[in-house]
Structure 1
Amino acid sequence: MSDDPKQKTIGAVETSFDILGVLSDIEPAGVSEITEELDMSTSTVFAHLNTLLQQGYLVKNDTTYRRSLRFLADAGAIRQRCEAAQLLDEKVDELASMTGEIAGAATEERGQRVMLFRSAGEMAAGDKIPIGEHSYLHWTSLGKALLAHLPAARRSEIVDRHDLPRGTERTFTTRDALGDELERIRQQGYAVDDEEHLRGVRGVAVPVFNTEDDVIASVGLTGPRNRFQSSYLTELLSSLEYVKNEIEVRNQYYE
Protein backbone atom coordinates (compact mmCIF):
# COMPACT_ATOMS: atom_id res chain seq x y z
CA MET A 1 0.00 0.00 0.00
CA SER A 2 1.07 3.57 -0.60
CA ASP A 3 2.19 5.67 2.37
CA ASP A 4 -0.50 8.10 1.32
CA PRO A 5 -3.82 6.29 0.78
CA LYS A 6 -4.97 9.14 -1.44
CA GLN A 7 -2.25 8.34 -3.98
CA LYS A 8 -3.10 5.89 -6.75
CA THR A 9 -1.13 2.64 -6.79
CA ILE A 10 -0.66 -0.13 -9.37
CA GLY A 11 -2.32 -3.34 -8.28
CA ALA A 12 -0.08 -5.61 -10.35
CA VAL A 13 3.04 -4.18 -8.72
CA GLU A 14 1.51 -4.62 -5.27
CA THR A 15 0.76 -8.25 -6.13
CA SER A 16 4.39 -8.90 -7.07
CA PHE A 17 5.54 -7.48 -3.75
CA ASP A 18 2.91 -9.50 -1.90
CA ILE A 19 4.37 -12.62 -3.50
CA LEU A 20 7.90 -11.60 -2.52
CA GLY A 21 6.62 -11.04 1.00
CA VAL A 22 5.24 -14.57 1.14
CA LEU A 23 8.52 -15.98 -0.15
CA SER A 24 10.40 -14.13 2.58
CA ASP A 25 8.41 -16.19 5.10
CA ILE A 26 8.18 -19.63 3.49
CA GLU A 27 10.69 -19.92 0.66
CA PRO A 28 11.32 -22.07 -1.21
CA ALA A 29 7.66 -22.37 -2.13
CA GLY A 30 5.60 -23.65 -5.01
CA VAL A 31 2.79 -21.96 -6.89
CA SER A 32 0.09 -23.75 -4.88
CA GLU A 33 1.59 -22.68 -1.53
CA ILE A 34 1.81 -19.04 -2.61
CA THR A 35 -1.69 -19.17 -4.09
CA GLU A 36 -3.07 -20.48 -0.82
CA GLU A 37 -1.28 -17.83 1.25
CA LEU A 38 -2.57 -14.97 -0.90
CA ASP A 39 -5.93 -16.41 -1.94
CA MET A 40 -5.21 -15.65 -5.60
CA SER A 41 -5.74 -17.61 -8.77
CA THR A 42 -2.98 -19.95 -9.90
CA SER A 43 -2.69 -18.19 -13.25
CA THR A 44 -2.17 -14.77 -11.60
CA VAL A 45 0.49 -16.05 -9.21
CA PHE A 46 2.26 -17.96 -11.97
CA ALA A 47 2.35 -14.90 -14.24
CA HIS A 48 3.94 -12.79 -11.53
CA LEU A 49 6.41 -15.51 -10.60
CA ASN A 50 7.47 -15.91 -14.20
CA THR A 51 7.93 -12.15 -14.58
CA LEU A 52 10.11 -11.95 -11.47
CA LEU A 53 12.03 -15.01 -12.64
CA GLN A 54 12.72 -13.49 -16.06
CA GLN A 55 13.87 -10.23 -14.46
CA GLY A 56 16.36 -12.12 -12.31
CA TYR A 57 14.73 -11.60 -8.92
CA LEU A 58 13.69 -15.23 -8.42
CA VAL A 59 15.38 -18.58 -8.83
CA LYS A 60 13.38 -21.69 -9.71
CA ASN A 61 14.42 -25.16 -8.57
CA ASP A 62 12.17 -27.85 -10.03
CA THR A 63 8.73 -26.59 -8.96
CA THR A 64 9.69 -24.19 -6.17
CA TYR A 65 10.82 -20.58 -6.15
CA ARG A 66 13.09 -18.49 -3.91
CA ARG A 67 14.35 -14.94 -4.04
CA SER A 68 17.63 -14.51 -5.87
CA LEU A 69 20.88 -12.88 -4.86
CA ARG A 70 19.98 -10.04 -7.22
CA PHE A 71 18.44 -8.47 -4.13
CA LEU A 72 21.83 -8.63 -2.41
CA ALA A 73 23.50 -6.79 -5.27
CA ASP A 74 20.81 -4.09 -5.26
CA ALA A 75 20.89 -3.71 -1.48
CA GLY A 76 24.68 -3.52 -1.42
CA ALA A 77 24.68 -0.75 -4.01
CA ILE A 78 22.00 1.17 -2.11
CA ARG A 79 23.86 0.83 1.18
CA GLN A 80 27.04 2.24 -0.34
CA ARG A 81 25.11 5.37 -1.28
CA CYS A 82 24.27 6.01 2.38
CA GLU A 83 26.22 8.92 3.81
CA ALA A 84 29.55 7.87 5.36
CA ALA A 85 28.89 4.20 4.49
CA GLN A 86 32.56 3.35 3.94
CA LEU A 87 33.54 4.90 7.26
CA LEU A 88 30.70 3.21 9.15
CA ASP A 89 31.68 -0.18 7.78
CA GLU A 90 35.31 0.32 8.75
CA LYS A 91 34.53 1.61 12.25
CA VAL A 92 31.98 -1.09 13.08
CA ASP A 93 34.63 -3.73 12.43
CA GLU A 94 37.11 -1.73 14.48
CA LEU A 95 34.67 -1.45 17.39
CA ALA A 96 33.96 -5.18 17.41
CA SER A 97 37.68 -5.97 17.38
CA MET A 98 38.49 -3.37 20.02
CA THR A 99 35.72 -4.30 22.50
CA GLY A 100 35.04 -7.95 21.65
CA GLU A 101 31.31 -7.20 21.57
CA ILE A 102 28.68 -6.99 18.84
CA ALA A 103 29.01 -3.65 17.06
CA GLY A 104 26.48 -2.19 14.66
CA ALA A 105 25.57 0.87 12.64
CA ALA A 106 22.04 1.81 11.65
CA THR A 107 20.08 4.52 9.91
CA GLU A 108 16.44 5.61 9.78
CA GLU A 109 14.24 4.92 6.79
CA ARG A 110 10.44 5.09 6.61
CA GLY A 111 10.31 5.54 10.36
CA GLN A 112 12.24 2.41 11.22
CA ARG A 113 15.78 1.51 12.26
CA VAL A 114 17.61 -0.20 9.40
CA MET A 115 20.75 -2.19 10.21
CA LEU A 116 23.53 -1.10 7.83
CA PHE A 117 26.59 -2.88 9.22
CA ARG A 118 27.18 -5.43 11.97
CA SER A 119 30.28 -7.16 13.28
CA ALA A 120 30.78 -9.66 16.11
CA GLY A 121 33.82 -9.54 18.39
CA GLU A 122 35.40 -12.48 20.18
CA MET A 123 33.12 -12.17 23.24
CA ALA A 124 29.90 -11.81 21.23
CA ALA A 125 27.11 -13.92 22.69
CA GLY A 126 25.35 -14.23 19.35
CA ASP A 127 24.71 -12.25 16.19
CA LYS A 128 21.52 -13.31 14.44
CA ILE A 129 20.30 -9.90 13.27
CA PRO A 130 20.69 -9.70 9.49
CA ILE A 131 21.99 -6.71 7.61
CA GLY A 132 19.04 -4.71 6.33
CA GLU A 133 16.74 -5.71 9.18
CA HIS A 134 14.02 -3.15 9.86
CA SER A 135 12.87 -2.64 13.42
CA TYR A 136 11.06 -0.07 15.56
CA LEU A 137 13.13 2.92 16.59
CA HIS A 138 11.87 3.23 20.17
CA TRP A 139 13.14 -0.04 21.65
CA THR A 140 16.87 -0.29 20.86
CA SER A 141 19.77 2.01 21.65
CA LEU A 142 20.60 2.36 17.95
CA GLY A 143 17.01 3.32 17.18
CA LYS A 144 16.58 5.72 20.08
CA ALA A 145 19.86 7.49 19.27
CA LEU A 146 18.39 8.20 15.83
CA LEU A 147 14.86 9.03 16.95
CA ALA A 148 16.02 11.48 19.62
CA HIS A 149 17.77 13.67 17.05
CA LEU A 150 15.15 13.76 14.33
CA PRO A 151 13.03 16.92 14.03
CA ALA A 152 10.08 16.98 16.44
CA ALA A 153 7.51 16.81 13.64
CA ARG A 154 9.24 13.77 12.17
CA ARG A 155 9.31 12.03 15.55
CA SER A 156 5.59 12.61 15.98
CA GLU A 157 4.89 11.35 12.46
CA ILE A 158 6.86 8.16 13.13
CA VAL A 159 4.96 7.41 16.35
CA ASP A 160 1.65 8.12 14.60
CA ARG A 161 2.56 5.68 11.86
CA HIS A 162 4.18 2.85 13.81
CA ASP A 163 2.76 3.34 17.32
CA LEU A 164 4.90 2.14 20.28
CA PRO A 165 4.68 -1.67 20.44
CA ARG A 166 5.90 -3.44 23.55
CA GLY A 167 8.97 -5.68 23.33
CA THR A 168 9.37 -6.28 27.07
CA GLU A 169 8.01 -4.77 30.27
CA ARG A 170 10.80 -2.18 30.02
CA THR A 171 9.79 -0.80 26.60
CA PHE A 172 8.68 2.85 26.48
CA THR A 173 5.10 2.52 25.26
CA THR A 174 3.63 5.98 25.96
CA ARG A 175 4.45 9.25 24.22
CA ASP A 176 5.19 11.05 27.47
CA ALA A 177 7.61 8.40 28.78
CA LEU A 178 9.34 8.13 25.41
CA GLY A 179 9.52 11.91 25.14
CA ASP A 180 11.30 12.13 28.49
CA GLU A 181 13.70 9.37 27.42
CA LEU A 182 14.52 11.09 24.13
CA GLU A 183 15.16 14.38 25.92
CA ARG A 184 17.53 12.58 28.28
CA ILE A 185 19.34 11.08 25.28
CA ARG A 186 19.74 14.50 23.66
CA GLN A 187 21.17 15.96 26.87
CA GLN A 188 23.62 13.15 27.62
CA GLY A 189 24.58 12.43 24.00
CA TYR A 190 23.99 8.68 23.98
CA ALA A 191 21.19 6.10 24.23
CA VAL A 192 20.95 2.94 26.32
CA ASP A 193 18.72 -0.07 25.67
CA ASP A 194 18.03 -1.63 29.08
CA GLU A 195 16.37 -4.88 27.96
CA GLU A 196 13.69 -2.85 26.17
CA HIS A 197 13.61 -5.01 23.06
CA LEU A 198 14.84 -8.40 24.27
CA ARG A 199 15.15 -9.70 27.80
CA GLY A 200 18.75 -10.21 28.87
CA VAL A 201 20.16 -7.88 26.19
CA ARG A 202 21.50 -4.38 26.72
CA GLY A 203 23.04 -1.87 24.36
CA VAL A 204 24.55 1.57 24.13
CA ALA A 205 24.70 3.80 21.04
CA VAL A 206 25.65 7.29 19.90
CA PRO A 207 24.30 9.39 17.02
CA VAL A 208 26.44 10.36 14.03
CA PHE A 209 25.87 13.75 12.41
CA ASN A 210 26.81 15.29 9.09
CA THR A 211 28.19 18.80 8.60
CA GLU A 212 24.63 20.22 8.65
CA ASP A 213 24.06 18.64 12.09
CA ASP A 214 21.53 16.19 10.68
CA VAL A 215 21.62 12.73 12.22
CA ILE A 216 22.67 10.28 9.51
CA ALA A 217 23.37 7.12 11.47
CA SER A 218 23.94 5.63 14.90
CA VAL A 219 26.74 3.39 16.07
CA GLY A 220 26.41 1.05 19.02
CA LEU A 221 27.42 -2.01 20.99
CA THR A 222 25.18 -4.81 22.24
CA GLY A 223 25.70 -7.60 24.72
CA PRO A 224 24.36 -9.64 27.64
CA ARG A 225 22.88 -7.93 30.70
CA ASN A 226 25.30 -9.56 33.14
CA ARG A 227 28.30 -8.04 31.32
CA PHE A 228 26.78 -4.71 30.28
CA GLN A 229 26.74 -3.15 33.77
CA SER A 230 27.13 0.59 34.38
CA SER A 231 30.92 0.70 34.79
CA TYR A 232 31.44 -1.39 31.66
CA LEU A 233 28.96 0.73 29.70
CA THR A 234 31.07 3.76 30.58
CA GLU A 235 34.13 2.07 29.07
CA LEU A 236 32.21 1.13 25.93
CA LEU A 237 30.82 4.64 25.62
CA SER A 238 34.35 6.02 25.54
CA SER A 239 35.13 3.78 22.55
CA LEU A 240 31.90 4.80 20.84
CA GLU A 241 32.56 8.51 21.30
CA TYR A 242 36.03 8.13 19.82
CA VAL A 243 34.65 6.31 16.78
CA LYS A 244 31.76 8.77 16.39
CA ASN A 245 34.13 11.75 16.37
CA GLU A 246 36.44 10.12 13.85
CA ILE A 247 33.57 9.29 11.50
CA GLU A 248 32.21 12.84 11.67
CA VAL A 249 35.57 14.49 11.10
CA ARG A 250 36.64 12.17 8.31
CA ASN A 251 33.22 12.36 6.66
CA GLN A 252 33.86 16.02 5.93
CA TYR A 253 36.58 14.94 3.49
CA TYR A 254 34.35 12.37 1.77
CA GLU A 255 31.67 14.89 0.87
Structure 2
Amino acid sequence: MSNQDTKTISAVETTFDILSALTKLEPVGLSELATHLDLPTSTLFIHLNTLVERDYVVKESGKYRRSFRFLEHGGSVRHRLDASRLLRNKVKELSDETGEIAGAGIEENGQRVILYRSSGEKAAGDEIPIGNHTEMHWTSLGKVILANLPREKRTSIVEEHGLPKGTDETLTSRDELESALERIREQGYAIDDEEHLRGVRGVAVPIFDEEDKVMVSLGITGPRDRFTSNYMARLLDMLRYTKNEIEVRSQYYEYSTIDG
Protein backbone atom coordinates (compact mmCIF):
# COMPACT_ATOMS: atom_id res chain seq x y z
CA MET A 1 0.00 0.00 0.00
CA SER A 2 1.35 3.43 -0.94
CA ASN A 3 1.89 6.32 1.45
CA GLN A 4 -0.89 8.14 -0.38
CA ASP A 5 -3.31 5.37 0.58
CA THR A 6 -2.42 5.62 4.28
CA LYS A 7 -2.47 9.39 4.72
CA THR A 8 -4.76 10.66 7.46
CA ILE A 9 -5.68 14.03 8.96
CA SER A 10 -4.03 14.37 12.35
CA ALA A 11 -6.63 16.83 13.67
CA VAL A 12 -9.42 14.36 12.91
CA GLU A 13 -7.47 11.56 14.59
CA THR A 14 -7.07 13.76 17.67
CA THR A 15 -10.82 14.41 17.75
CA PHE A 16 -11.56 10.69 17.69
CA ASP A 17 -8.96 10.10 20.42
CA ILE A 18 -10.76 12.69 22.54
CA LEU A 19 -14.14 11.04 21.97
CA SER A 20 -12.69 7.63 22.85
CA ALA A 21 -11.23 9.06 26.06
CA LEU A 22 -14.55 10.66 26.98
CA THR A 23 -16.16 7.23 26.65
CA LYS A 24 -13.97 6.02 29.54
CA LEU A 25 -13.65 9.13 31.69
CA GLU A 26 -16.75 11.28 31.29
CA PRO A 27 -17.68 13.57 32.89
CA VAL A 28 -14.10 14.80 32.99
CA GLY A 29 -12.33 18.13 33.41
CA LEU A 30 -9.95 19.73 30.91
CA SER A 31 -6.74 19.12 32.88
CA GLU A 32 -7.48 15.49 33.63
CA LEU A 33 -8.38 14.79 30.02
CA ALA A 34 -5.26 16.60 28.77
CA THR A 35 -3.08 14.48 31.07
CA HIS A 36 -4.79 11.28 29.95
CA LEU A 37 -4.27 12.13 26.27
CA ASP A 38 -0.85 13.75 26.72
CA LEU A 39 -2.07 16.85 24.90
CA PRO A 40 -1.50 20.55 25.64
CA THR A 41 -4.58 21.98 27.35
CA SER A 42 -4.74 24.76 24.74
CA THR A 43 -4.96 22.24 21.88
CA LEU A 44 -7.47 20.09 23.72
CA PHE A 45 -9.62 23.11 24.55
CA ILE A 46 -9.92 24.05 20.84
CA HIS A 47 -11.02 20.54 19.94
CA LEU A 48 -13.51 20.35 22.79
CA ASN A 49 -14.88 23.80 22.06
CA THR A 50 -15.47 22.78 18.44
CA LEU A 51 -17.30 19.63 19.57
CA VAL A 52 -19.39 21.67 22.01
CA GLU A 53 -20.30 24.17 19.30
CA ARG A 54 -21.38 21.32 16.99
CA ASP A 55 -23.44 19.74 19.83
CA TYR A 56 -21.39 16.55 20.02
CA VAL A 57 -19.99 17.33 23.46
CA VAL A 58 -21.71 18.99 26.43
CA LYS A 59 -19.88 21.10 29.00
CA GLU A 60 -21.47 21.15 32.45
CA SER A 61 -19.91 22.57 35.64
CA GLY A 62 -16.48 22.66 34.01
CA LYS A 63 -16.62 19.00 32.92
CA TYR A 64 -17.15 17.45 29.52
CA ARG A 65 -19.26 14.53 28.30
CA ARG A 66 -20.54 13.26 24.97
CA SER A 67 -23.97 14.51 23.92
CA PHE A 68 -27.01 12.49 22.93
CA ARG A 69 -26.28 13.38 19.30
CA PHE A 70 -24.35 10.09 19.17
CA LEU A 71 -27.52 8.26 20.19
CA GLU A 72 -29.24 9.83 17.19
CA HIS A 73 -26.55 8.55 14.80
CA GLY A 74 -26.46 5.11 16.39
CA GLY A 75 -30.24 4.93 16.29
CA SER A 76 -30.22 5.78 12.60
CA VAL A 77 -27.84 2.90 11.86
CA ARG A 78 -29.87 0.49 13.98
CA HIS A 79 -33.08 1.64 12.31
CA ARG A 80 -31.61 0.84 8.91
CA LEU A 81 -30.52 -2.61 10.04
CA ASP A 82 -33.82 -3.38 11.78
CA ALA A 83 -35.92 -2.20 8.83
CA SER A 84 -33.80 -4.27 6.43
CA ARG A 85 -34.15 -7.37 8.62
CA LEU A 86 -37.91 -6.85 8.86
CA LEU A 87 -38.27 -6.57 5.08
CA ARG A 88 -36.22 -9.72 4.49
CA ASN A 89 -38.31 -11.66 7.03
CA LYS A 90 -41.57 -10.48 5.47
CA VAL A 91 -40.46 -11.60 2.01
CA LYS A 92 -39.79 -15.06 3.43
CA GLU A 93 -43.15 -15.12 5.24
CA LEU A 94 -45.00 -14.23 2.03
CA SER A 95 -43.29 -16.99 0.05
CA ASP A 96 -43.97 -19.53 2.80
CA GLU A 97 -47.62 -18.53 3.09
CA THR A 98 -48.38 -18.37 -0.63
CA GLY A 99 -45.96 -20.96 -1.92
CA GLU A 100 -45.02 -18.48 -4.65
CA ILE A 101 -41.97 -16.31 -5.37
CA ALA A 102 -41.91 -13.21 -3.18
CA GLY A 103 -39.42 -10.41 -3.61
CA ALA A 104 -38.43 -6.88 -2.68
CA GLY A 105 -36.94 -4.43 -5.15
CA ILE A 106 -35.21 -1.06 -5.09
CA GLU A 107 -34.24 1.49 -7.72
CA GLU A 108 -30.55 1.97 -8.39
CA ASN A 109 -29.10 3.91 -11.31
CA GLY A 110 -32.45 3.85 -13.04
CA GLN A 111 -32.95 0.09 -12.87
CA ARG A 112 -34.91 -2.33 -10.70
CA VAL A 113 -32.65 -4.31 -8.40
CA ILE A 114 -33.76 -7.43 -6.50
CA LEU A 115 -32.98 -6.78 -2.86
CA TYR A 116 -34.53 -9.92 -1.34
CA ARG A 117 -36.16 -12.96 -2.94
CA SER A 118 -37.66 -16.14 -1.57
CA SER A 119 -39.25 -19.12 -3.34
CA GLY A 120 -42.19 -21.05 -1.91
CA GLU A 121 -43.05 -24.69 -2.47
CA LYS A 122 -45.15 -23.96 -5.59
CA ALA A 123 -42.51 -21.76 -7.23
CA ALA A 124 -41.13 -23.00 -10.53
CA GLY A 125 -38.19 -21.93 -12.64
CA ASP A 126 -36.94 -19.12 -10.40
CA GLU A 127 -33.53 -18.37 -11.83
CA ILE A 128 -33.43 -14.61 -11.11
CA PRO A 129 -30.78 -13.98 -8.43
CA ILE A 130 -30.66 -11.40 -5.65
CA GLY A 131 -28.96 -8.30 -7.02
CA ASN A 132 -30.40 -8.78 -10.50
CA HIS A 133 -30.75 -5.49 -12.40
CA THR A 134 -33.36 -4.98 -15.09
CA GLU A 135 -35.52 -2.28 -16.68
CA MET A 136 -37.93 -0.48 -14.37
CA HIS A 137 -40.87 -0.64 -16.82
CA TRP A 138 -40.65 -4.43 -17.29
CA THR A 139 -41.75 -5.68 -13.87
CA SER A 140 -44.37 -4.94 -11.22
CA LEU A 141 -41.59 -4.33 -8.68
CA GLY A 142 -40.00 -1.77 -10.97
CA LYS A 143 -43.17 -0.09 -12.24
CA VAL A 144 -44.60 0.53 -8.78
CA ILE A 145 -41.40 2.30 -7.75
CA LEU A 146 -41.14 4.21 -11.02
CA ALA A 147 -44.73 5.42 -10.64
CA ASN A 148 -44.00 6.94 -7.25
CA LEU A 149 -40.71 8.65 -8.05
CA PRO A 150 -40.69 12.42 -8.67
CA ARG A 151 -41.58 13.30 -12.27
CA GLU A 152 -38.06 14.61 -12.99
CA LYS A 153 -36.53 11.34 -11.83
CA ARG A 154 -38.95 9.28 -13.92
CA THR A 155 -38.18 11.36 -16.97
CA SER A 156 -34.43 11.08 -16.52
CA ILE A 157 -34.65 7.29 -16.12
CA VAL A 158 -36.65 6.88 -19.32
CA GLU A 159 -34.36 9.26 -21.21
CA GLU A 160 -31.25 7.38 -20.07
CA HIS A 161 -32.49 3.80 -20.43
CA GLY A 162 -35.22 4.14 -23.01
CA LEU A 163 -38.12 1.68 -23.14
CA PRO A 164 -36.63 -1.52 -24.57
CA LYS A 165 -38.96 -4.39 -25.35
CA GLY A 166 -38.93 -7.49 -23.15
CA THR A 167 -41.95 -9.23 -24.67
CA ASP A 168 -44.81 -8.28 -26.97
CA GLU A 169 -46.66 -7.02 -23.86
CA THR A 170 -43.98 -4.53 -22.76
CA LEU A 171 -44.97 -0.86 -22.69
CA THR A 172 -42.67 0.86 -25.17
CA SER A 173 -44.53 4.14 -25.66
CA ARG A 174 -43.82 7.02 -23.27
CA ASP A 175 -47.44 8.17 -23.36
CA GLU A 176 -48.73 4.67 -22.62
CA LEU A 177 -46.21 4.26 -19.82
CA GLU A 178 -47.16 7.60 -18.20
CA SER A 179 -50.83 6.64 -18.33
CA ALA A 180 -50.05 3.28 -16.76
CA LEU A 181 -47.92 4.88 -14.03
CA GLU A 182 -50.74 7.32 -13.22
CA ARG A 183 -53.14 4.39 -12.75
CA ILE A 184 -50.57 2.64 -10.55
CA ARG A 185 -50.28 5.70 -8.31
CA GLU A 186 -54.06 5.96 -8.01
CA GLN A 187 -54.69 2.28 -7.28
CA GLY A 188 -51.59 1.74 -5.14
CA TYR A 189 -50.22 -1.34 -6.90
CA ALA A 190 -48.70 -2.51 -10.17
CA ILE A 191 -49.19 -5.63 -12.26
CA ASP A 192 -46.72 -7.29 -14.63
CA ASP A 193 -48.77 -9.17 -17.20
CA GLU A 194 -46.05 -11.07 -19.08
CA GLU A 195 -44.23 -7.79 -19.74
CA HIS A 196 -40.83 -9.09 -18.63
CA LEU A 197 -41.03 -12.85 -19.22
CA ARG A 198 -43.55 -14.83 -21.21
CA GLY A 199 -45.89 -16.86 -19.03
CA VAL A 200 -45.07 -14.91 -15.84
CA ARG A 201 -47.32 -12.48 -13.99
CA GLY A 202 -46.69 -10.45 -10.89
CA VAL A 203 -48.23 -7.92 -8.53
CA ALA A 204 -46.39 -5.43 -6.33
CA VAL A 205 -47.00 -2.60 -3.86
CA PRO A 206 -44.79 0.35 -2.88
CA ILE A 207 -43.43 0.84 0.62
CA PHE A 208 -43.03 4.44 1.75
CA ASP A 209 -40.94 6.08 4.46
CA GLU A 210 -42.23 8.56 7.04
CA GLU A 211 -41.82 11.38 4.51
CA ASP A 212 -44.03 9.53 2.00
CA LYS A 213 -41.11 8.79 -0.31
CA VAL A 214 -41.01 5.38 -1.96
CA MET A 215 -38.23 3.22 -0.47
CA VAL A 216 -38.71 -0.25 -1.91
CA SER A 217 -41.35 -2.42 -3.55
CA LEU A 218 -42.78 -5.72 -2.39
CA GLY A 219 -44.28 -8.24 -4.78
CA ILE A 220 -45.26 -11.79 -5.67
CA THR A 221 -44.77 -13.47 -9.05
CA GLY A 222 -45.82 -16.76 -10.59
CA PRO A 223 -47.10 -18.59 -13.66
CA ARG A 224 -49.78 -16.95 -15.81
CA ASP A 225 -52.22 -19.88 -15.57
CA ARG A 226 -52.25 -19.83 -11.75
CA PHE A 227 -52.18 -16.04 -11.44
CA THR A 228 -55.81 -15.42 -12.37
CA SER A 229 -57.50 -12.11 -11.54
CA ASN A 230 -59.19 -13.55 -8.44
CA TYR A 231 -55.98 -15.16 -7.20
CA MET A 232 -53.97 -11.99 -7.71
CA ALA A 233 -56.63 -10.02 -5.81
CA ARG A 234 -56.07 -12.30 -2.82
CA LEU A 235 -52.30 -11.90 -3.13
CA LEU A 236 -52.75 -8.13 -3.30
CA ASP A 237 -54.66 -8.16 -0.01
CA MET A 238 -51.73 -9.98 1.60
CA LEU A 239 -49.23 -7.54 0.11
CA ARG A 240 -51.20 -4.54 1.35
CA TYR A 241 -51.38 -5.98 4.85
CA THR A 242 -47.64 -6.66 4.86
CA LYS A 243 -46.89 -3.23 3.39
CA ASN A 244 -48.82 -1.53 6.20
CA GLU A 245 -47.05 -3.60 8.84
CA ILE A 246 -43.61 -2.80 7.42
CA GLU A 247 -44.33 0.93 7.17
CA VAL A 248 -45.72 1.14 10.71
CA ARG A 249 -42.95 -0.93 12.25
CA SER A 250 -40.24 0.91 10.31
CA GLN A 251 -41.45 4.21 11.78
CA TYR A 252 -41.60 2.58 15.21
CA TYR A 253 -37.96 1.54 14.86
CA GLU A 254 -36.98 5.12 14.06
CA TYR A 255 -38.79 6.70 17.00
CA SER A 256 -37.90 3.94 19.48
CA THR A 257 -34.19 4.24 18.72
CA ILE A 258 -34.35 7.96 19.44
CA ASP A 259 -36.60 7.77 22.50
CA GLY A 260 -35.34 4.53 23.99
TM-score range relative to shorter protein: 0.5 to 0.7
CA distance in 2 between counterparts of 1:91 and 1:254 reads 16
> Which stretch of structure 1 is more off in the superposition, 194-203 or 83-92?
83-92
- Over 3 Å counting, the alpha-carbon distance change for 1:215 and 1:231 in structure 2 is same
1:187 paired with 2:186, answer yes
CA distance in 1 between counterparts of 2:134 and 2:124 reads 20
Which letter does structure 1 place at the counterpart of 2:137? H
Can you list the C-alpha shifts for 1:139-189, whole angstroms capped at 9, x where unaligned? Answer: 100000100000000000000000000001110001000001000100110
Q: How does 1:223-234 map to 2 (within 5 A)?
A: 223-234=222-233
- Deviating above 6 A after TM superposition, structure 1's stretches of 4 or more consecutive aligned residues are none
Which letter does structure 2 place at the counterpart of 1:180? S
Q: How many residues align?
A: 176
Which letter does structure 2 place at the counterpart of 1:150? L
CA distance in 2 between counterparts of 1:82 and 1:104 reads 18
Q: Secondary structure at the match of 1:221?
A: strand
Can you list the C-alpha shifts for 1:47-73, whole angstroms capped at 9, x where unaligned? Answer: xxxxxxxxxxxxxxxxxxxxxxxxxxx
Taking structure 2 as the reference length, what is the TM-score of the superposition? Answer: 0.66
Residue 29 of structure 1 corresponds to: none
> What stretches of structure 2 of length at least 5 have no aligned partner?
1-78, 255-260
Q: Is the 8 A contact 1:83 1:216 kept in 2?
A: no
Residue 99 of structure 2 corresponds to: 100
**Higher Cα Rg: structure 1 or 2?**
2
Q: How far 1:81 sits from its partner (Å)?
A: 5.4
Q: How does 1:33-48 map to 2 (within 5 A)?
A: none
Can you list the C-alpha shifts for 1:183-218, whole angstroms capped at 9, x where unaligned? Answer: 010011000000001110000000000000000000
| Aligned Cα root-mean-square deviation (Å) | 1.3
CA distance in 2 between counterparts of 1:127 and 1:169 reads 21
CA distance in 1 between counterparts of 2:92 and 2:181 reads 28
Residue 128 of structure 1 corresponds to: 127
Residue 248 of structure 2 corresponds to: 249
Q: Is the 8 A contact 2:205 2:239 kept in 1?
A: yes
CA distance in 1 between counterparts of 2:252 and 2:137 reads 32
Which letter does structure 2 place at the counterpart of 1:93? K
Residue 219 of structure 1 corresponds to: 218
Q: Is the 8 A contact 2:82 2:253 kept in 1?
A: no
Using the aligned pairs only, state the percent identity. Answer: 64
Residue 158 of structure 1 corresponds to: 157
1:87 paired with 2:86, answer yes
CA distance in 2 between counterparts of 1:126 and 1:81 reads 32
